[in-house]
């Protein structure tokens, strides 16, 4: 599929499918990376469809899978805010707020890193007790376009 080419509905990597893949054992960053490719490149005109369906947490929900569900909900809210898309109601469910803080990132177990993550994490993640910093969704496609534009100027 070429950059910017619209995907067919059956081919879209939705956030619901992404979470399902995580629940089935796929490495979370791989599943989220696939979703981000659709969001930032393959299906930019279908972003609302990528996020409209709510997640379905498994009956046998582990604490780790619940953390990833909360992360997916925070991700949808973050992306909707950033790209001016109406956020679906399902992301504001109180169940997506973690009871304990969850720190993600290199060295996240260290107190000084946790302090930095608390300061830098976007509000929609922090409100859910997830601390991941502010570069979690750096868009490589937009960054590449900016670099190319500067080089041609």
**What mean pLDDT comes out for the span 17-36?**
96
C-alpha 22/C-alpha 72 separation (Å) is 10
Assess whether pLDDT exceeds 80 at residue 2.
no
Residue 5 confidence (pLDDT): 47
Mean pLDDT for 142-148 is 59
Percent of the chain with pLDDT over 70: 84
pLDDT in tens, 58-106: 999 999 999 999 999 999 999 999 999 999 999 999 999 999 999 998 8
Which of 120 and 3 is assigned the larger pLDDT? Answer: 120
Closest CA to 66 of 16, 124, 19: 19
What pLDDT, on the 0 to 100 scale, is given for residue 66? Answer: 97
Contacts of 13 (CB under 8 A, 6+ apart): 34, 35, 37, 38, 50
pTM equals 0.85
């Amino acid at each position: 599929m070429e950059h910017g080419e619209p995907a067919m509905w059956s081919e879209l990597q939705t956030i619901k499918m992404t979470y399902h893949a995580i629940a089935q054992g796929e490495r979370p960053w791989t599943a989220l990376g696939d979703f981000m490719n659709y969001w930032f490149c393959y299906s930019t005109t279908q972003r609302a469809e990528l996020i409209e369906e709510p997640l379905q947490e498994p009956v046998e929900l582990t604490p780790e899978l619940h953390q990833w569900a909360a992360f997916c909900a925070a991700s949808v809210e973050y992306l909707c805010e950033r790209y001016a898309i109406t956020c679906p109601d399902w992301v504001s469910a109180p169940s997506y707020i973690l009871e304990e803080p969850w720190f993600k990132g290199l060295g996240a177990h260290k107190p000084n890193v946790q302090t930095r993550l608390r300061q830098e994490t976007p509000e929609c993640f922090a409100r859910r007790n997830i601390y991941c910093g502010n570069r979690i969704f750096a868009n490589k496609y937009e960054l590449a376009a900016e670099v190319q534009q500067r080089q041609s100027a």
